[in-house]
Structures are given as C-alpha cells and as structure tokens.
Structure 1
Amino acid sequence: MEHLTYQRKVTIMAAIIASMFFSSINQTIVGVALPRIIAKLGGMEYYTWVITIYLLTSTISTILVGKLSDIYGRKYFILSGIVIFMAGAFLAGTSTDIIQLIVYRGIQGTGAGIIMATAFTAIGDLFSPRERGRWSGLMSAIFGMSSILGPGLGGYIVDHFEWHWVFWLFLPLGILAFFMILFLFPKVERQESQSIDYPGSLLLTLTIVPMLLAFSWAGTKYPWSSTMIIGLFAFTLTALVLFIFTERKVKTPVLPLDIFKNSVVTISNVIGFIMNAGMMGALMYMPFYVQGVMGISPTYAGYVTMPMSISMLAMSAYTGRRMTKTGKYKNLALTGMAIMVFGMFLMIIMKNIPVAVLSMIIFGSGLGLGMPVFMLAVQNVVDSKDLGVATASVQLFRNLGGTIGIAVMGTVLSTSIANKMNGLISASAGLNSSGLDSETTKQLTRLMDPQLLLDQSKLSVIQNGLPEQAQPVFAQLLEGLRQALATSLSNVFLTGTIVLVVALVLTFLLKEMPLRTTVHKVSEPRIENQRNLLRIENEYDELTSS
C-alpha cells in the first residue's frame, strides 16, 4: 500500500484508529468495574479467569491471523475481528453468572486479537519504520486516551447504572469502525504462492492452551506438583517439540522460526514477554488496592489509575516524535524500563492514595517511553513478506507474558491471602465477643471473606445489622481484613518489580538498528547507503534546529 497518496494513507489510518479505540476502550472500561461485577455475579475464585480467558483467546487469534493476513490481506480480518468483538461484548452484558461472563469474554478476546494483529501490521504496510515512529506514538496515545476515559466511565456506570452497560455503551462505535474499514481500507490481492499451515496452527494452539491452563491453575486449583499440572506441562512440551519440527518442514509456516535468528526480534520479544508479565501487577491489582484496602468507590478508583494513562499518552507521543526524528530507540527503551521499575517499587511501599497516584504517574511515563519501541524495532528488521507474522509474534509474546504474569500474580495473591487469613482467624478467636448472641457471631464470621472489601454496600448492610456492642469487634475484623489484603498486594507488586528488573537488564542487550526510511526492507548492499543517508539527515536536523 506504499503507492497510495499521503492523504489516502491518513484516511486509512483514521479507520484503523477508530477500530483500535473501539477495542481498547471496551477493555479499559471493564478493568475498574470488574471487581464490582464479580461481587454482583459471585465467583471471586474465578476473578483472574475473566482476564486470563481474554488474553488466552486473543493470543491464539493474534498469531494465527498474523500469517493469514500476510496471505489474504488485512481488510477482511479486521472486519471480522470487529464483528466478533461486538458479539462478545453484547453477550458479556447478558451474563447471569461468572461462567457465562468468562465464556463471552473469551469471544471478545478472539475479536480483539484479530483487530490488534491486523491494525498494527497495516501501519507497517503504509509507512516506513522511520515514519512509523510518529504513528506508533499516536497509536499508543489512543490506548492512553481509552485508558483515561475507560476507568472513570466504568466506575461511574457500576456506581449509578446497571453494570451491563459497561459492555454495551460503545457498541455503536464498533458499528462506525466497521463501516469506516469497509469503505476506506483497500483490498489486497492474495499471495497465490502462499499456503495455509494447518498442522502448525493446530500444534501452536495445542502448545499455548495447556501451558496457560497450567499456569492459571497451578497453586490455586491444583498444587504445582499435582498430576494435572505436570500433565499439562508435559503436553505443552510435547506439542512444542512437534510444532518446531513441523515449522521446519512446511512451505509456509504459521510462525517462521527464521525470524528469531535476528537478535533484535528475539530480544525484543523476550523483553515484551517479561515486561508484560511484570506490569500486570499494576494494571490488574491497583483497582483491588484502592477499592479493597482504601475503600474507594469504583468511580474514584478510576480517577486514581487515570494519571497513569495521561502520563503514558504524553510520553508515547514524545517517543514517537523522537524516534521519527533520530531513527534511534534503545536509550528510550532503557529509560522507560528504569522508570517503570521505580514506579512499581513505589506500589510496594504505598500507604495512601497520593502515593498510589504518584506511582501510577511514574509507571505510566516509563510505559509510554518503552512500550512503542519493541514493536517498531522488530518491524524494522524483518522482510515485508513476514511483516504480519513478525508483528503478531510481538503480540503473542506480550500476551503470553501478560497471561502467565496474571496467573503467577494470582497465585502470589491467593497464597498470601490464605496465609494472612489463617492468622486473622486465629487472632479473631481472641477478640472480646462475650455477650454477643449466636446470630451476631455468625454475621461477624461473614467478614472472613476478602471479596466483601470490593462491595462497600454489602459491608454497610452487615455493619448496620449488628448491635452496638458488636461494632468494635466489626471494626477490628474489618481492619485486619484490609491489612491482610494490603500485605498480600504488596507481595504481588514486589514480584512485579523483580520481573521488571530482569526486563531492564535484558534491554541492555538490544541491538540498535537505524530505522529504515523505506517501507520495504532494503537489500544488504544498500544498507550502508541508507546509514549514510540517515547520518546526513541527522546532521541536517541538528543544523536546522540550531
């Protein structure tokens, strides 16, 4: 699509941005509202599954569609992704129990994966990596904008309306995005020499699904050493070996292993994996902290997380402009990762809302600096024929990291809470509950559930139903419950910090390749000429700026 006029490219980008905003706003609006939705539907033990299933299905659809879009073009895949996402959103709003919500969120995730895989790749079809820096910053800004609007809006809806509207509110935007893509996005002819890798697609799916199930169930539903978990990991390893063997034999592999011979691709994907695993502590469990520990309503919880989105938006825009101007990215990645580590560290020691807000601002700034870099670094070094699958590989590793990170963080949280609750139950036996009747004592024992902290209205009902002499016992138990949750969440944030430190160390190994000024990758004899041109452009920029 590089032959299109600049004006035509801008109109296509408008359609892509509309579809991306529709997908991202529907994700961010759910985050803050989800604790209240779970409190209404029940099933606290399945909380992480609502997030995990979304990432699992989006991960699979992302990598499968990546290669297919290289063969058939991006248009019809992004259209199908919007339709599937809208269907999942509508159905999620009709859920009557947690199992239905999980299933429908899985449908949403499938559509989201298709949208993400095709939208980011389409930018690579339209612009050179050097120009892409600016557009990558804009796309990150779209995520930032949705992150600003979504949490506050989601919290407001569950506070003042039925929670179903969290999923239904932006369905008209999905319809608009569909027709914009339909009429503005050009059709690309199929690459006739390419074939579909059905065995590889099946084996890749059979590798991903049991692996994510194992990480999701280990330490919570089943012990790590249980037959179920060991069996799932064994199945994963077997499928992975067969997948690698198959990909070396087929004509058009769903995930060409040759792209990982380039160190930039490998290091970028590993960093993306680790970074997403670590940062899920901030994105998923901060609402838990402000609602459960601090007792903030969902509406105001959205305001606590909003500064992260604002800082991410500002720094993403700066990162995009900087990469377009200089053609370089490594220092931005290093700086961003270091700032993210510091922001996550503040979450470990936070004791009040101002520190929580400060940690969000710092973390968002680092995220805005570092996140756009790795996708662009990968797209810069791969051949155009592999652009879709290379872009999808970045999304794959990020989603895998996020999913496994959620599972590990969930295990850390549940284990910590279980230990703290055992201590709290033992301590509660020594509370002065003499003179209380059996019904009052029974009401007080209902406080031994951290899920109650996410539903302030239910807590008020319990408190108001207690006699005056039981109020001190209620206050002591409630404070102990909040302390147990706070300590457990600090352990989650500590785990995230350690993981992000590993990602920071790996970023030093990232090789910096000058960003190309052509859409297609140039041949080796022309690389030196391109570098000379880049040097001249930088010298010209320095002269004009001075």
Structure 2
Amino acid sequence: MRVTGDPSSGGSTPAQDILSESDGEKAPRGSHSHLENTALEHDPGELNDVHNKLTKETILACIAIAGQINAYVMSLLIPSTTLSYINQELGPSPYYSWITIVWQLGGSIIVSISGRLSDIFGRRYFMITGASISIVGCLVGANGKSIDMMIVSGTLFGIGSGFQEMAYACIQEMLPNKHRMVGVGLLDISLAIAFSSPAIAYCFIAFHDIGWRGAYWYMFTWHVVAFIFLWIFYRPLTSR
C-alpha cells in the first residue's frame, strides 16, 4: 500500500501523485514522437546516396556527355570565328551573318521544347537525335558550295545544339547528390577542349590549303566520336 505524507511535512498529496504518474506515462510517448519527427526530417536524397556509388559505367557515361557539350560549343565557336573566311570564299553575300544567327534561333526554340519532353520520356534518345542532326550539319558545312548551304548547316547546328544543351541535366541525373557539384565543375573544365577549337580553325586557315573546311572536318570527327561514346555508354535507367 502506498502511503502519502502530509502536505505540511513536505509529502505529496494524492492529486499530485496522480499528476506525476500521468506525466511519467506521457514522457515515453513524447520521446517516441520526437524520434519519429527527427527521422522524417532527413532528406530522402541523403539516404539514397548511401546506396548510390560512382561506378565505371557512370563515369563513362559522364565522359560521353562531356563529349556532347564540347560538340555543342564547337558548333557555335568554329562557324563564328571562320565566318569572314567563309564569306570571302563563297560570297560575298549580305546574308552571311545568318550562318550564326540561325544557330541561336534554332537552339533557343528547341531547348525550350526538348527539355520538357525529355523530362517525361527520358533524355537518351533526345541526346542521340541532337548529336545526329549536328553531324549532318558538319557534313553540310564542310561541303558547302554557297552561303545558303552554310546557313542550312548553321540551322542544323542550332537544332542539334538545342538537344545537346541538356548535358547539364544529364550529368546531374546520373550522379548522386554529393558528387553533383564536382561533376558539373568537371564538365565545365572539359570545355577547354571546345574553347581551343577557334585556334585549331585558324591553324587550318593559316597552314593548310584546306582552309576553314578543315575546321569543319575536325568538328565532324569530334561529333562522330562523341556520338559513338554517347550511343554505347549513355544509358540512363529511364531509357532502358
């Protein structure tokens, strides 16, 4: 039997005993609730990263995407830096500046459409489509006989680049959260290859009889190799 003391002597009253027992029963419930809330506050992405490690296949896929972003930038830089030489050989034409203008128009239109569609249907075949169109643009440009043909080449570059510009989204989808910043940074560093392409174009113009067409054939070679890497190694789960 439980004996309670007199309130005046410092003992507890029956009412106080009941309250203390109620508090004692509620304390464990509160602690469990706190643990549950703490577990819910964890980011699911952080928990998934424990199981998402970089594999050889992922690294090769990232290299394939780096090839595409470099091909995309080359199709902008090489035509724009050789523009005056193209007009000198195939022109002169007052419309030669459209060789690069159509690239911007085509790219801005396609990227706004392809980005959303690739979110739904997956990016692999959109990237392959863009790479294929850009390869055709290289062939048309390298064999161009008129300014009109070069404008067609620029248009194909713009359409293809609108798809290839999704490279940044592809990289971030493939990599776990903790590696994404590094992956995007390395993708940007790889662009040093594309940024050197104007110098290569000038070397063809200055030291080889093939002239500016050599730059287009160089670009064609890069696009083909990058396409092969893309076809073999870039296989995201959403497209399998």
| TM-score, normalising length: structure 1 | 0.32
CA 1:170/1:47 → structure 2, altered by over 3 Å: closer, same or farther?
closer
Q: How much has 1:85 moved relative to structure 2?
A: 0.3
Corresponding residue number in structure 2 for 1:108 = 157
Which residues in structure 2 correspond to 1:420-435 (within 5 Å)?
Answer: none
Corresponding residue number in structure 2 for 1:124 = 172
Structure 2 residue 50 is the aligned partner of structure 1 residue 27: no
Query: What is the identity percentage for the equivalent residue pairs of Structure 1 and Structure 2?
Result: 22
Letter in 2 for 1:120: Y
Q: How much has 1:59 moved relative to structure 2?
A: 1.2
Which residues in structure 2 correspond to 1:531-546 (within 5 Å)?
Answer: none
Corresponding residue number in structure 1 for 2:103 = 54
CA 1:89/1:187 → structure 2, altered by over 3 Å: closer, same or farther?
same
Structure 2 residue 213 is the aligned partner of structure 1 residue 164: yes
Q: How much has 1:58 moved relative to structure 2?
A: 1.1
Letter in 2 for 1:142: S
Contact (CA 8 Å) 2:124, 2:235: kept in 1 or not?
A: yes
Q: How much has 1:4 moved relative to structure 2?
A: 5.1
Q: Which runs of 5+ in 1 are unaligned?
A: 191-546
Contact (CA 8 Å) 2:54, 2:175: kept in 1 or not?
A: no
Which residues in structure 2 correspond to 1:89-488 (within 5 Å)?
Answer: 89-117=138-166, 119-127=167-175, 131-147=179-195, 149-159=196-206, 160-162=208-210, 163-189=212-238
Letter in 1 for 2:64: A
Q: What CA distance in whole angstroms lies between the structure 2 residues aligned with 1:114 and 1:26?
A: 13
Q: How much has 1:121 moved relative to structure 2?
A: 0.8
| TM-score, normalising length: structure 2 | 0.70
Q: What CA distance in whole angstroms lies between the structure 2 residues aligned with 1:84 and 1:165?
A: 20
CA RMSD of aligned residues (A): 2.3
Instruction: For residue 169 of structure 1, give the secondary structure of its aligned residue in structure 2.
Output: helix
Letter in 1 for 2:199: G
Contact (CA 8 Å) 1:29, 1:153: kept in 2 or not?
A: no
- Equivalent residue in structure 1 for 2:87, among 38, 49, 55: 38
CA 1:26/1:52 → structure 2, altered by over 3 Å: closer, same or farther?
closer
Contact (CA 8 Å) 2:90, 2:145: kept in 1 or not?
A: yes
Structure 2 residue 81 is the aligned partner of structure 1 residue 12: no
Structure 2 residue 122 is the aligned partner of structure 1 residue 73: yes
Q: How much has 1:153 moved relative to structure 2?
A: 0.9
Q: How much has 1:66 moved relative to structure 2?
A: 0.3
Q: What CA distance in whole angstroms lies between the structure 2 residues aligned with 1:126 and 1:17?
A: 13
CA 1:140/1:153 → structure 2, altered by over 3 Å: closer, same or farther?
same
User: Per-residue CA shift, 1:217-248, capped at 9, x if unaligned?
Assistant: xxxxxxxxxxxxxxxxxxxxxxxxxxxxxxxx
Letter in 1 for 2:183: W
Letter in 1 for 2:203: Y
CA 1:25/1:68 → structure 2, altered by over 3 Å: closer, same or farther?
same
Q: How much has 1:175 moved relative to structure 2?
A: 2.3
Letter in 1 for 2:124: K
User: Per-residue CA shift, 1:391-420, capped at 9, x if unaligned?
Assistant: xxxxxxxxxxxxxxxxxxxxxxxxxxxxxx
Q: What CA distance in whole angstroms lies between the structure 2 residues aligned with 1:26 and 1:52?
A: 12
Q: Radius of gyration: which is bigger?
A: 2
Corresponding residue number in structure 2 for 1:364 = none
How many residues matched? 188
Contact (CA 8 Å) 2:79, 2:99: kept in 1 or not?
A: no
Q: What CA distance in whole angstroms lies between the structure 2 residues aligned with 1:176 and 1:97?
A: 28
Q: How much has 1:145 moved relative to structure 2?
A: 2.9
Q: How much has 1:19 moved relative to structure 2?
A: 2.0
CA 1:14/1:51 → structure 2, altered by over 3 Å: closer, same or farther?
same
Corresponding residue number in structure 2 for 1:288 = none
Q: How much has 1:158 moved relative to structure 2?
A: 2.1
Q: How much has 1:166 moved relative to structure 2?
A: 1.9
Q: Which has the higher contact order (CA 8 A, sep 6+)?
A: 2
Q: How much has 1:139 moved relative to structure 2?
A: 1.8
Instruction: For residue 144 of structure 2, give the secondary structure of its aligned residue in structure 1.
Output: coil
Contact (CA 8 Å) 1:26, 1:150: kept in 2 or not?
A: no
Contact (CA 8 Å) 1:30, 1:150: kept in 2 or not?
A: no
CA 1:33/1:81 → structure 2, altered by over 3 Å: closer, same or farther?
same
Q: What CA distance in whole angstroms lies between the structure 1 residues aligned with 2:191 and 2:96?
A: 24
Q: What CA distance in whole angstroms lies between the structure 1 residues aligned with 2:133 and 2:61?
A: 21
CA 1:12/1:4 → structure 2, altered by over 3 Å: closer, same or farther?
farther
Contact (CA 8 Å) 1:53, 1:102: kept in 2 or not?
A: yes
Contact (CA 8 Å) 1:29, 1:151: kept in 2 or not?
A: yes
Contact (CA 8 Å) 1:9, 1:126: kept in 2 or not?
A: yes
Q: How much has 1:179 moved relative to structure 2?
A: 2.2
Contact (CA 8 Å) 2:129, 2:160: kept in 1 or not?
A: yes
Q: How much has 1:177 moved relative to structure 2?
A: 1.8
Contact (CA 8 Å) 1:72, 1:188: kept in 2 or not?
A: no
Letter in 2 for 1:122: C
